[in-house]
Amino acid sequence: MTMIFKKLDDGFEIPIIGLGTWLQKNEPECINAVKSALDIGYRHIDTADIYENHGYIAKAIKGFTREKLFITTKLWKDFMDPKQVESQCDKCLMQLNLDYLDLYLIHWPDRTKPMNDIIYQMTKLKERGKVKSIGVSNFTINHLQDILHQGLKIEMNQVEFHPFLNQPELLDFCNRHAIAITAYSPIARGNVFHDPDINSISVKYKRPANQIALRWLLQKDIVAIPKATSKEHLESNFKIFDFQLDPDDMKKIDNIGFTRPKRLINPEFADFEY
């Protein structure tokens, strides 16, 4: 199947479906998942410093044409210091055995830290060729406004986004400011399989619930990084390019987040307004 790409505001392209690797700390499992994903056609691999699997991913992608890959990783909150931005990036590059990152994100916002100075240092990484694009993760509209008011530019905001956490205001804000959105936990950690509305749509299209949820995101022009380890699940998450949801079904899924909202990732240090 032909991969669809989303063009970022800086001109680089990101595959609209990627592989999430959160919690993949088991070496054989992580390596096999990434290799299987690449065999299927995935080219976008998402990781983070805190996931502790950079070395496994490096082994899995070894020998694969670098220019065909899109690798994302993230700056962990313990190193949110402008003076550590470059050294932390260098550490990630060394662990991943890469010369550059396609996308480097601030993993979580922290209003007690000099966020604007940190982002400014990340722009310097772009100038030095260590990073192609930069962005943030788990940022709300208020966090993004703080950045934009300083005249700083980011390309991506990676957030939890799925039928139970539909965030139309955030999506609209990001669209208006040319900030792409990546959805993590896009199938709500399996919760989509138990929702009656999604199941009815699943029957209509003769597609499993995970494909319905991912197609819903794709039609919103949102990048998605579902996590999977088995070849069966990896293949299923990738089979979303050959059908389309009707507008009425898109609205029906939209309404799930309004009638039975559910945020799944909410650590004690998070700074969400709702």
- Please tell me what DSSP assigns to residue 119: H
In whole angstroms, give the CA distance from residue 120 to residue 85. Answer: 10
51 counts as catalytic: yes
Burial call 237-251: b when 16+ CB within 10 Å, e when fewer: bbbbeeeebeeebbe
Instruction: Give the strand pairing for 19-20 and 180-184.
Output: unpaired
Dihedral sign computed on CA atoms, order 111, 113, 114, 120: negative
| Beta carbons within 10 angstroms of residue 37's beta carbon | 25
Instruction: Give the strand pairing for 44-46 and 101-106.
Output: unpaired
Q: Exactly one of 51, 56, 104, 184 is catalytic; which is it?
A: 51
Instruction: Give the strand pairing for 19-20 and 156-160.
Output: unpaired
- Please tell me what DSSP assigns to residue 165: B
Q: Give the Cα-Cα-Cα angle 143, 145, 149 (nearest 5 degrees).
A: 130
Report CA-CA distances (Å) from 103 to 10, 59, 85, 167, 193.
12, 19, 14, 23, 31
Q: Quick check: 126 and 154 in contact, CB under 8 A? A: no
Q: Which residues are catalytic?
A: 51
